[in-house]
Chains A and B, each alone.
Chain A
Amino acid sequence: MTETTGEGLEANGVDKKAPEKSIFQEIKEVAAKARGKSKESMKGLWLKADEKLEPVNKKAGEISEKTKTESVKDYFRKHTESFKDGIRARSYDIYGGLYDIGAVVSQAKVMFWRNFKDGLFATYLGENQRNVKARKKKAKDYYAKAKEKAKENRGKRDKSRENAKEVREKKTVAV
């Protein structure tokens, strides 16, 4: 499709002022940049999660062998996989929405050039605005939740460390 300025439309009796085409481009570019950056960051985080949590599973495997109890290995495997699944699910959720922003803008653009007079254009723009707002809100909500969960997990870490110390220091009596 060939893009034109709004002048032609006005000349054809369309009395609305045409949006500047650069705005469409700007939205698409910003959305694509945010999407690309998020994708890279998320991929990096998934890899880091694998790297950071694998030693936990390795150690759990060693304890399982020592205690002849498969459930140690199974428990930590389940725990770490569920944590990683959570990260992936949240990032797919956010990422999918970023595609919507780009797609809706493309639709709005098509509607504008093909059918400027009817209400579809405004509908698409409204939908895009809602999408952007929803993604921003979700990103902020996920930020707050992740920070809160990190704090909670540090509390659990300290408690667990304390329990381990107490158990380790329990005296046994030699006979």
Chain B
Amino acid sequence: MTINCMNKEELKKYLEGMELEEGLRKVLFEIVDKAEAVDQALMNNIADILDLQADFYDKSADLLDEEAEIYKTLAEDLNALPESPIK
């Protein structure tokens, strides 16, 4: 068995100091509350969730870049429209 130097309240305080989205902080607090002890397994689970959040942002950034390219192409295509049907 392993224990961390922190108890649950201290761990929550530590997480409180982190720059996190409020919804995610709530999820992490729930995990801390449900855990049997503040041990390495709990710390790994929290780290896994934070890594997953990083994965989400990584993938969403790629998708946003692709989305941006679609709009860029569209703006270029619309530039090809004649200014007025009357010459």
* Interfacial residues, chain A to chain B (CB-CB below 8 A): 19-20, 23-24, 26-27, 30-31, 33-34, 37-38, 41-42, 45, 48-49, 52-53, 55-56, 59-60, 63, 66-69, 71-72, 75-76, 78-80, 83, 87, 90-91, 94, 101, 105, 108, 125, 128-129, 132, 135-136, 139-140, 142-143, 146-147, 149-151, 153-154, 156-161, 163-165, 167-168, 170-175
Contacts and interface: CB of A to CB of B under 8 A. Distances in A.
Contacts of B44: 168
The interface centre, meaning the residue of B23, B75, B78 with most chain A CB atoms within 10 A of its CB, is B78
Contact of A75 (B19, B27, B67, B86): B27
Given A153-B64, A174-B1, 6 more contacts: A24-B85, A34-B80, A71-B26, A83-B63, A149-B64, A163-B19
Contacts of B59: 52-53, 56
15 contacts: A23-B86, A27-B81, A34-B80, A37-B73, A37-B74, A41-B73, A69-B30, A76-B52, A83-B60, A125-B86, A143-B68, A156-B54, A168-B47, A172-B3, A172-B5
A77 to B, nearest CB: 11
A153 B64 CA distance: 9
Contacts of B3: 172-173, 175
Contacts of A80: 56
A93 B18 CA distance: 37
Contact of B79 (A20, A136, A149): A136
A156 B19 CA distance: 9
**Which DSSP category, helix, strand, loop or mixed, fits chain A's interface?**
helix
Interface of B: 1-5, 18-20, 23-24, 26-27, 30-31, 34-35, 38-40, 43-68, 70-75, 77-87
**Which DSSP category, helix, strand, loop or mixed, fits chain B's interface?**
helix
Given A101-B81, A173-B5, A146 B56 contact: no
A20 B77 contact: no
B78 A34 contact: yes
Given A150-B61, A172-B2, A34 B45 contact: no
